[in-house]
Structure 1
Amino acid sequence: TSAPRRLGAMNAATAGSYPMASLYVGDLHPDITEAMLYEKFSPAGPVLSIRVCRDMITRRSLGYAYVNFQQPPDAERALDTMNFDVVKGKPIRIMWSQRDPSLRKSGVGNVFIKNLDKSIDNKALYDTFSAFGNILSCKVVCDENGSKGYAFVHFETQDAADRAIEKMNGMLLNDRKVFVGRFKSRKEREAELGAKAKEFTNVYIKNFGEDMDDDRLKDIFDKYGKTLSVKVMTDPTGKSRGFGFVSYEKHEDANKAVEEMNGTELNGKTVFVGRAQKKMERQAELKRKFEQLKQERISRYQGVNLYIKNLDDTIDDEKLRKEFSPFGSITSAKVMLEEGRSKGFGFVCFSSPEEATKAVTEMNGRIVGSKPLYVALAQRKEERKAHLTNQYMQRIAGMRAMPANAIINQFQPTSGYFMPAVPQVSG
Structure 2
Amino acid sequence: MMRTSGGVARADVIENRWGRSRGFGTVVFDTPEDAQAAIERFNGEVLEGRQLEVRLSKDISERRRPELRNTEFTEGVTGDGPPSSVIYADNLPFITTEADLHELFETIGRVTRAEIQYNDRGRPNGTAVVEFELSSLADVAITNLNGYNYGGRDLRISYARRPENYDAPMDAEPEQYSAELEQYQGEPQQFSAEPEQFTAEPVQQYQGEPAVTGDAIDEDIQDAPQQT
For this structure pair, what is the TM-score category when the shorter chain's length is used for normalisation?
A: 0.3 to 0.5
**TM-score, normalised via structure 2 length:** 0.35
Which structure is higher in strand share?
1
**TM-score, normalised via structure 1 length:** 0.19
Higher relative contact order (CA closer than 8 Å, sequence separation 6+): 2
